[in-house]
Structure 1
């Protein structure tokens, strides 16, 4: 369970000026975009999520359920990759050479399940890199249901993405002064730089924690491995120039201008 703190959460909404959101991201490494999804889109996402959830057996003792390449499994998911109120923020942070780092992920934490990972920054394994690291990845995590402190919310340490060193491996899952568990309502979206120090927490509630994650990178970087890259069928069916860029279906070497330049 995330620890209650007095740290005020960075809450924005679709009407918040874009530069204000980007400035908060650069300063603190995250924002919670309230009402990122409209009611109709949220209803369609819930329906699509329920179908995927029903298709995956609940293995005894499992802490969570993951469904990779989720963006390729219908419009309710695929439309999240260039969602009009969240994608522009990621584009400003990554740059006009933005693309998908994975094919998206359905992230589902079961009731009464322990945390599965402690404090880390996603590129702490990289050696001989000067800190603070660039924004290699930006993640948009859409809340399918309401998320409360007892449900094992993502817990972040604001501003830590600007640290002059990697997150220490021996931090474990301990409480750190200034940490904040990101709670919100269904339809909200957590946007964060993945170099922010973050951890998972116990879900001590009777509720399932349901999320859909969209991860962005520079187009010249490799996609994440382990079978979680962009679905080939999803890549093949794209015709929109920006979506073709996002799925990596354009030439990037020596490109002077990318389709996402004017997003």
Structure 2
């Protein structure tokens, strides 16, 4: 259970105002150790790759042991409030970023619609379509490639231009946190990675949530098959997160 459970209303306000929220102590020490061990046991398949950074997609399908990390208490309630009670998971990705890793430039993940800056500055509340939870499995300091975020930049109405490193006078802030903490952010937020200047490897688990009408991103797509052991082990909520929805207009 989250060490400091953030009230859902406060969390939604943070996502609307700043574009992100921290969730402290989402995982306990035993869970952090388990996920790190699960990552160490992974082997690359399909579009996975290993090197200076190791990147593994759709890890929920590897083993039922990953399932509790699709909907940890303290996170899933916020995701459902932000994206609808019928939201689902569009990916669960594991990372290891080794010493010397070079982080991503300033970017956003997905812009559902480009809107005029004057509308976004007027108090218009932009609905959320996609959110990412980054669950840190190390104590993140300034040298261990912290994520950098620009508060409020989700209201820019566009992706950052090349070399654009600030928005409305606000520059990127590093997210420094403890193992087991989580950063939940909406897809329009400007954010970047940073270099791993330490001798340590950073372990990270991402869970990507989307509204029901946002397509699930389960590669290799046409050849995708659910692991039967995973489906048998799912709770009803986890089955819904993996796409077992009730019939609706476009089904």
TM > 0.5: yes
What SS does structure 2 have at the residue aligned with 1:232? coil
Q: Could you list the runs of 5+ residues in structure 1 that have no partner in the other structure?
A: 1-11, 256-263
Give the corresponding residue for 2:123: none
Give the corresponding residue for 2:96: 108
Q: Could you list the runs of 5+ residues in structure 2 that have no partner in the other structure?
A: 121-125
TM-score after normalising by structure 1: 0.77
Stretch deviating more after TM superposition (66-75 or 191-200): 66-75
What SS does structure 2 have at the residue aligned with 1:152? coil
Q: Deviations over 1:58-115 (max 9, x none)?
A: x89x43110111122334421111111111111111112210112x100221111222
Q: Deviations over 1:139-197 (max 9, x none)?
A: 1111111111112121111111122x21233136x577431111211111111112111
Which 4+ residue blocks in structure 1 deviate beyond 4 angstroms?
228-231
The Cα of 1:23 is off from its aligned counterpart by 1.4
Give the corresponding residue for 2:88: 99
1:168 to 1:188, Cα distance in 2 relative to 1, 3 A: closer
Give the corresponding residue for 2:173: 180
1:45-124 matches, within 5 Å, as 45-52=35-42, 55=43, 62-102=51-91, 104-115=92-103, 117-124=104-111
Task: Check conservation: 1:28, 1:158, Cα contact below 8 A.
Answer: yes
Tell me how large the CA RMSD over aligned residues is.
2.8
Task: Check conservation: 1:41, 1:76, Cα contact below 8 A.
Answer: no
What SS does structure 2 have at the residue aligned with 1:101? strand
Size of the aligned set, in residue pairs, is 233
Give the corresponding residue for 1:207: 200
